[in-house]
Structure 1
Amino acid sequence: MSAPTKHRSADEIGRTELGPRPFPELGEQRAAADLDAIDTTLANGLRVLAVRRDSVPLVEVRLRIPFGDPATSSVGSTHAARAEVLANTVLTGTATRSRVDVDTELALVGGELDAVVDPERLSFSGNALVSGFETVLDVLRDVLTGATYPADEVERERARLVERIRLARSQPNVIAREALQRHLYGDHPFAKEMPEADEVEAVTRDDVLALHSSAVLPRGSAIVVVGDVAPDAAVRAVEAALGGWTGEGTAVALSPLSPVRGGDVLFVHRPGAVQSQIRLAGRGLERTDERYPALQLANLVFGGFFSSRLVENIREDKGYTYSARSHPEFTPGGATLLVDADTASEVTVAALLETRYELGRLGLVPPTESEVDTARRYAIGSLLTATSSQGGLASFLVNLAGLGLDVGWFTGHPARLAAVTVEQVAEVALEFFAPTSFTGVLVGDAELLTPQLRALGGVTLP
């Protein structure tokens, strides 16, 4: 019998008689080559962006319809409630297809189709085998031009939505997000990401039908097709299916938001909370700004990935939080830098102090060449990874379309990141990451945190 194999530890595997085994060099990050694409607009005003990617015999479809509240203020508006019910019931039946028919037809071609809504847009996301591409488009056409919103489906989905809203409003992250949006944007419709349960309960089938007729419009909307289909053939298929989708006016885009201005953090009392939510926000840059690539790298160095300064400080070194991050959010007409951290109540104030410290340090102790190079590799690598699949590329491109950008921005962005200098990163770090440039909210138990927060300052207490 042979002797049992001795398993080596990770440390043993990583070493040789001459010392630690050297890490292999990172491979070259290849930017996306010029994509075979067509970007055009149909006679009905629908923008069509079709990209050939033949890695697998599938096709991905993304439709973005601007779906803003036409009211200048969200006070008293029921648009968010009606929009949520619409998104949850738009696929439940047409004059020629029941809900079961829709699901069955899509399943037979290996496909699916979903709808979601937020304050900015109504989005349809679908996919299928290439042989089922026209089926997906035909179902989408039927839904866009003839959704009937059966009364029993509206009643059922409305009840489910009410329960989900009530449950969500008990979650700390939702409480923090809603408080932050109100603090930053007041009564702007963008701040109302979730309607009230009683508003949803009051929505009728007639309300949804009226909203569909007035707001589900092709002009101003964009559809992205990515898959194993020639772009010209994809455009012809979209035109054949959706060219007859019409409507008066243009889909409603939200009005631009005012830039975020720094100020005190608003404390939101949550009695008995054993954890706190820190949510900070500052002004960011749009993707079209020439300084955006430098700001993207500065954000990564600060808190945008696991090896960032903020994560190393309050997670790895001090153990104040399991999860901390900073990230951009692109808003109507602008952008915001967000910093998130959830902490135990007893270390909340210390975590806020260290977060402010790292914000200031980014400008006063600028990122090193090594930090910038690591962030650059991560930025390019994560972009290419996220868009390596057909679905990932389709989702990324439809977001770009919503900003008025095209495939060229995507293919050119790795080169823009590669051209950023350490000095440019230092400049935007000093300008955008100053602690005084941020405001935000802190959700927690006031009885536990008020004495320490009063001593720290910069927090509006209840």
Structure 2
Amino acid sequence: MLNRTQAPAFKQVNDIKFIPPVKQQLANGIDVFTLNIGEQDLVRIEFIFENVNWDANKPLLAMAVNGLINSGTAHLSAKEIADKIDYYGAFLQTDFSSDYTNVTLFTLTKHLSSVLPVVYDILNNSIFPQEELDIYKQNQKQRLQVNLQKNDFVGRKTFAHAIFGNTPYGINVTMAHYDELKREDLLTHYQSAYQPKNCIIIVSGKFLDKDFEVLDQVFGKLWKNEQPFEKNKLSFTAQDGQDIYVEKPDALQSAIRMGNLAIDRNHPDFPSLQVLNCVLGGYFGSRLMANIREDKGYTYGIGSAVASLKQAGYFFIATEVGADVCADALKEIEKEIMLLKTEPISKEELNLVRNYMLGSMLGSLENAFSHADKFKNIYFSGMDYDYYSRYIHTVKTITPAQLTDIANKYLNPDRMIKVVIGKK
């Protein structure tokens, strides 16, 4: 019988298998990547569009179009769209990021021929009714007004703008930006961005040849829109360190956000920097958590991350601490960074991090949708599955000395943007 008084021995993950998609094309040239996995009659179809035609004078266009794209078409009202999707037990989701816009359909595979025409109507015939736009602007302004009272939100916004400036990655959103949204601008952007030449489709779940034919019939043979567009092209230059302090005299907590431009997923050092980040603040057992939360009690949570965007990468540390201990917390954060630069990590700590990272990778591959998400990470970075092989190899083999070198190469508190919102 299993002895439940003894913890199971640690065992490193040896083999992680990724399931690559099958690539096909619709009649109009749209690439379709299919992961036909699972026995359940369920499928997720993602229509993904790269953000284009960036205009610094109209920074919210892409986000507003995505937020309002299912608010009414030339044939269906917003309620009729929702009713048709709900009738078949399907779900339609829109997502916006700084690089891409998604329209995602979750449905039973047997209902594809009924729900895909609704999605086609949304992607081709949306009209952005003025009354819906007015409601959207009002709601977003109210949400912004509430969020501006939250130190953490202001910290994120201030930090992003300090690093990326007036670009899609660093928009300093104001009430005026929402007031300036015009229906004719939304329509123009929509017609340029949502078209076959700017679309790829990723399908995950149960999806057979006959289902591909349904998809091709609706989106491959009917969708012909061809409007000129220009892909966003961004470049950034690392800045000198900067301290940004927004005082809030009545604050009980201060938000801290600090970091700098870094490397993205395409850089060969990226997996090594991820391991280092995990040690510093990438999981619950990290050094920042052990020091700032468990030992000092300054915060409920603190973390760090290395983020890879399409045209940039950056490193950051984020937390909220008691206003009376903000200065001390900043000193402790810098101390933990300097320790990584000067003292090798112990083998025991590194082995714990290895097990955590490999276990997290394995645990993240639980279904067709998660395999599709892993594919998106590399596809939109212009990479192949060799990236994951290199990542796993690095996690398994990187040495304490190599991590010290990475820390000295990429972690420099003097070059970081440090944002404090509250009191320090």
Task: Name the counterpart of 1:22.
Answer: 6
- What's the counterpart of residue 79 of structure 1? 59
Within-5 A mapping of 1:222-371:
222-230=200-208, 235-243=212-220, 244-248=222-226, 252-371=230-349
Q: Which consecutive residues of structure 2, in runs of 5 or more, have no partner in the other structure? A: none
Q: Which residue of 1 aligns with 2:100?
A: 121
Structure 2 CA distance, aligned partners of 1:372 and 1:44? 50
2:47 to 48, 63, 68: 63
- Residue 31 of structure 2 corresponds to residue 47 of structure 1: yes
Question: In 2 relative to 1, CA 435–79 (structure 1 residues): closer, same or farther, beyond 3 Å?
Answer: closer
Going from structure 1 to structure 2, the CA distance change for 1:362 and 1:411 (only over 3 Å counts) comes to: closer
Answer yes or no: is 1:166 the counterpart of 2:150: no
Distance 2:91 2:340 in 1: 45
Please list the CA deviations of residues 218-253 of structure 1 after superposition, one character each: whole Å capped at 9, or x if unmatched: 3243221110224x5565444333224344367654
Q: CA deviation at 1:27?
A: 5.3
- 1:20-42 deviation per Cα after TM superposition (whole angstroms, max 9, x unaligned): x4311245636443526213455
Larger radius of gyration: 1
Instruction: Report the equivalent of 1:435.
Output: 413
**C-alpha distance in 2, partners of 1:229/1:29?**
31
Which deviates further from its counterpart, 429-438 or 232-241?
Answer: 232-241
CA distance in 1, matches of 2:264, 2:26: 27
> How far does residue 379 in structure 1 lie from its aligned partner after superposition?
1.6
**How does the TM-score come out when normalised to structure 1?**
0.82
Q: Distance in 2 between matches of 1:251 and 1:383?
A: 37
Deviations for 1:405-457, whole angstroms, at most 9, x for unmatched residues? 35564577434533434443332122112323422311123xxx3xxxxxxxx
Is contact 2:204–2:368 with CA below 8 Å preserved after alignment? Answer: yes
Distance 1:372 1:236 in 2: 50
Q: Counterpart in 1 of 2:181?
A: 203
- 1:223–1:398 CA contact under 8 A, matched in 2: no
Contact 2:242–2:415, Cα closer than 8 Å, also in 1: no
For 1:422 and 1:135, locate their aligned partners in 2 and report how far apart those are by CA, in whole Å.
Answer: 57
1:262 deviation in Å?
4.7
Residue type matched to 1:242 in 2?
Answer: F
Task: Name the CA distance, whole Å, in 2 between partners of 1:299 and 1:106.
Answer: 42
SS in 2 for 1:267: strand
Q: Which has the higher mean CA deviation after the structures are superposed, 251-260 or 103-112?
A: 251-260
CA distance change for structure 1 residues 247 and 413 in 2, over 3 Å: closer, same or farther? farther
2:33 partner SS? strand
Q: Secondary structure at the match of 2:127?
A: coil
- 1:122-141 matches, within 5 Å, as 122-141=101-120
**Whole-angstrom distance in 1 between the partners of 2:87 and 2:371:** 25
**Whole-angstrom CA distance in 2 between matches of 1:136 and 1:416:** 44
Deviation at 1:371, TM superposition (A): 2.1
Change (3 A) 1:166 1:144: same
Pair 1:55–1:166, CA change in 2 (3 A)? farther
Distance 1:36 1:397 in 2: 7
Deviations, residues 106-125 of structure 1 (Å, cap 9, x unaligned): 22332111213233222222
| Separation of aligned partners in 2, 1:170 and 1:256 | 31
For 1:367, what is the secondary structure of its paired residue? coil
**How many percent identity over aligned positions?**
22
> CA 1:209–1:256 in structure 2 vs 1: closer, same or farther (change >3 Å)?
closer
Cα 1:291–1:412, aligned 2, differ >3 Å: closer, same or farther?
A: closer
